[in-house]
Amino acid sequence: MNKVIQRKPLMTSDHLTFCIINYNGENYLEETIRSVLKQKHAQDEIILIDNASVDRSLSIVKEKFSGVKIVQLKKNLGPGAARNAGFKCSLNDLIVFLDNDVCLTNNSIRQLIAEFEKRPKVAAAMPCVLYADRPNIIQYDGADMHYLGLMILRNANHNLGKLKNCEPQKTGSIVTACFFMDRKRWELGKPFDEDFFMYFEDHDFGLKIRTHGYDILSVPAATVLHREGTPGLSLRKHGQYAPLRVFNNIRNRWQIILKFFSLRSLFILFPILAIYEAFQFAVALKKGWMREWFSALFWIMNNANRICNKRLQVQRNRKISDREIFRNGPLPFAPEFAQTRLEERAIKFLNGISMTYWKYAKHLL
């Protein structure tokens, strides 16, 4: 086992673990780890959880950062499972999780923890995430739950100046490229549902927190820089949807709906959910994603009992209603999704139906 970095904490009596989640991050890891080392407070432990990388990631870390503790998973179980592993093996209760393509800015973690500690009901806190190649533009600053099961990114692609002097805000969900949690506050079992593998696993994590009556905090004063993402999967890097991304986005949205929507919500929203699914099916047919759509359907059918058991647990223990979590707004499709004028018009039409339906349905929830 590699030597653990030991430093005296500067802002708290508790020690702090930085847990970096890695899969094939050879292009990012050195800069990410150096940004952690520059943080002006405790680095009692730095862990790299590696999801069976096949590139030079581990060699780079072993050669240049002997103080980083490496935990190698035998196969790629997805970022949620890797975070669960880090949550379990951390020596400390205070844990900062970050993806391998995230760079911390000066004092970002100090500010994040300071705001977290003021609020005893907060279970997780996230910084404002900026594009690394456009550090004045916000990628997201928290998230919310669209009533169709999607994740709405807050302040996406807005200028950072919009958030100047903005106070921390409670959010309805969370994006986990970088976030902080205190294990002493966590009472909800394993943090991440490993059936999600990737995509929406953070949305599920956020909804788990919110439905149990805890808060999620976004801290705009704490900023991090986010680079291009996982090779072969990143939408920003490649400009198109990889098959694995399509499959997981479809399947995991269905998991969100089946786990978290109350029976009342399912009944009231059934017509618009059916319309959305017809739209999604048509898109899959047009773009050649039918294999992914049916694979997602068969996965849900084959795992119906397990999903049902998780649903029962969520509904039995929930503390707040769907109405307190659901939000409306434009459907959060990435710009790369619509590549023709027909597709742009279809999205505009679906948005119109969705906005109108919510206008009346929200009073019945």
In a domain, 166, yes or no: yes
CB 184 within 8 A of CB 308: no
Could you give the number of structural domains in the chain? 2
pLDDT on residue 118: 94
Residues 6+ apart with CB under 8 A from 31: 103
CA 283 to CA 331: how far, in whole Å?
A: 15
At residue 104, what are phi and psi to the nearest 5 degrees? Answer: -80, 140
Q: pLDDT in tens for each of the 365 residues of the chain?
A: 333 333 333 344 468 999 999 999 999 999 999 999 988 655 689 999 999 999 999 999 999 998 899 999 999 999 999 999 999 999 999 999 999 999 999 888 989 999 999 999 999 999 999 999 999 999 999 999 999 999 999 999 999 887 666 889 999 999 999 999 999 999 999 999 999 998 999 999 999 999 999 999 999 999 999 997 666 555 555 456 788 989 999 999 999 999 999 999 999 999 999 999 999 999 999 999 999 999 999 999 999 999 999 999 999 999 999 999 999 988 887 766 666 888 888 888 999 999 999 999 999 99
CB 155 within 8 A of CB 219: no
pLDDT on residue 234: 55
188 and 91 share a domain? yes
In a domain, 243, yes or no: yes
205 and 270 share a domain? no
**What is the DSSP-derived secondary structure letter of residue 159?**
B
pLDDT on residue 342: 81
In a domain, 7, yes or no: no
Tell me the pTM. Answer: 0.90
What is the residue-wise DSSP string for 326-337? EE--S----GGG
Q: Looking up tokens 């997805």, which residue turns up?
A: 78
pLDDT on residue 237: 55
**What is the DSSP-derived secondary structure letter of residue 212?**
T
193 and 304 share a domain? no
In a domain, 6, yes or no: no
183 and 292 share a domain? no
In a domain, 10, yes or no: no
In a domain, 314, yes or no: yes
Looking at residue 121, which CATH number applies to its domain?
3.90.550.10
151 and 250 share a domain? no
Range of the domain at 133: 16-226
Q: Which of 226, 252, 283 is the last residue of a domain?
A: 226
255 and 300 share a domain? yes
57 and 191 share a domain? yes
Counting beta carbons within 10 angstroms of the beta carbon of residue 365, is it exposed (0 to 12), middle (13 to 18) or buried (19 or more)? middle
Q: Which of 179, 206, 226 is the last residue of a domain?
A: 226
203 and 328 share a domain? no
In a domain, 182, yes or no: yes
- Report pLDDT digits (tens) over 58-100: 999 999 998 899 999 999 999 999 999 999 999 999 999 999 9
Q: Which of 172, 203, 226 is the last residue of a domain?
A: 226
**What is the DSSP-derived secondary structure letter of residue 309?**
H
132 and 31 share a domain? yes
CA 37 to CA 202: how far, in whole Å?
A: 26
- Report pLDDT digits (tens) over 196-221: 998 999 999 999 999 999 999 999 99
81 and 158 share a domain? yes
The β-bridge partners of 103 are 225
Name which of 294, 296, 273, 289 is nearest 150 in CA terms.
Answer: 273
In a domain, 142, yes or no: yes
66 and 212 share a domain? yes
275 and 186 share a domain? no
CB 16 within 8 A of CB 96: yes
